[in-house]
Amino acid sequence: MRISVIGGTGDLGSALAARLAAVGHEIWIGSRDPAKAEAFVKTVEHGGTGRLFGAGLADAAGRCDVCFLTVPYEAHARTLEQIREAVQGKIVVDATVPLKPPKVGTVQLPAAGSAVMEARQLLGEGVRIVSALQNIGAEKLGADTTPDAEVLVAGDDAASVEVVRELLAELGFKSWHVGPLPNSAAAEALTSVLIQLNRRYKLGQAGIRITGGVKKKPALQVFPVEGLPMLAPGDDLAAAIAGALDQSGVKLEAGDVVVTAQKAVSKVEGRFARLAEVAPSAAAREAAAKSGKPAAVAELILSEAREVMRVADNLIIVRNRSGQVLANAGIDASNVAPGNGDDDEQVLLWPQDPNESARRLRAALEAHAGVKLAVIVSDSLGRAWRMGTTGSAIGAAGIRPIRDRRGEKDLFGRELKATVIGVADEIAAAASLVMGEADEGVPAAVIRGAVYEASDQADISELIRPLDQDLFR
Ligand X SMILES: NC(=O)c1ccc[n+]([C@@H]2O[C@H](COP(=O)([O-])OP(=O)(O)OC[C@H]3O[C@@H](n4cnc5c(N)ncnc54)[C@H](OP(=O)(O)O)[C@@H]3O)[C@@H](O)[C@H]2O)c1
Residues that bind ligand X (CB under 6 A): 7, 9-13, 31-33, 36, 70-75, 95-97, 99, 133-134, 136-138
Q: How far is the CB of 199 from ligand X (least distance, A)?
A: 14
Q: How far is the CB of 57 from ligand X (least distance, A)?
A: 7
Q: Which of 220, 219, 217 is nearest to 429 (CA)?
A: 220
In terms of CB distance, is 95 or 240 closer to ligand X? 95
Task: Measure Cα distances from 67 to 59, 95, 118, 219 in Å.
Answer: 11, 11, 17, 45
Q: How far is the CB of 123 from ligand X (least distance, A)?
A: 16
Q: How far is the CB of 104 from ligand X (least distance, A)?
A: 9
Q: How far is the CB of 129 from ligand X (least distance, A)?
A: 15
Q: How far is the CB of 176 from ligand X (least distance, A)?
A: 16
In terms of CB distance, is 94 or 459 closer to ligand X? 94
Contact assessment for residue 398 and residue 456, using Cβ atoms and an 8 Å cutoff: yes
In terms of CB distance, is 36 or 200 closer to ligand X? 36
| CA-angle at 216, arms to 375 and 366, nearest 5° | 20
Q: Which residues, listed in sequence order, are joined to residue 153 by a DSSP beta bridge?
A: 177
In terms of CB distance, is 35 or 283 closer to ligand X? 35
Q: How far is the CB of 186 from ligand X (least distance, A)?
A: 14
In terms of CB distance, is 188 or 304 closer to ligand X? 188
How is the beta sheet containing 221-224 ordered, strand by strand?
221-224, 444-448, 257-261, 374-383, 386-399, 454-455
HEC profile for 254-301?
CCCEEEEEHHHHHHHCCCEEEHHHCCCCHHHHHHHHHHCCCHHHHHHH
Q: Which of 391, 403, 394 is nearest to 351 (CA)?
A: 394
Q: CA 286, 289, 292, 297 torsion: positive or negative?
A: positive
Which residue type does 438 have? A
In terms of CB distance, is 62 or 395 closer to ligand X? 62
In terms of CB distance, is 74 or 166 closer to ligand X? 74
Indicate the residue whose CB is closest to ligand X.
10
Contact assessment for residue 8 and residue 34, using Cβ atoms and an 8 Å cutoff: no
Contact assessment for residue 298 and residue 306, using Cβ atoms and an 8 Å cutoff: no
Rounded Cα distance between 169 and 165, Å, is 6
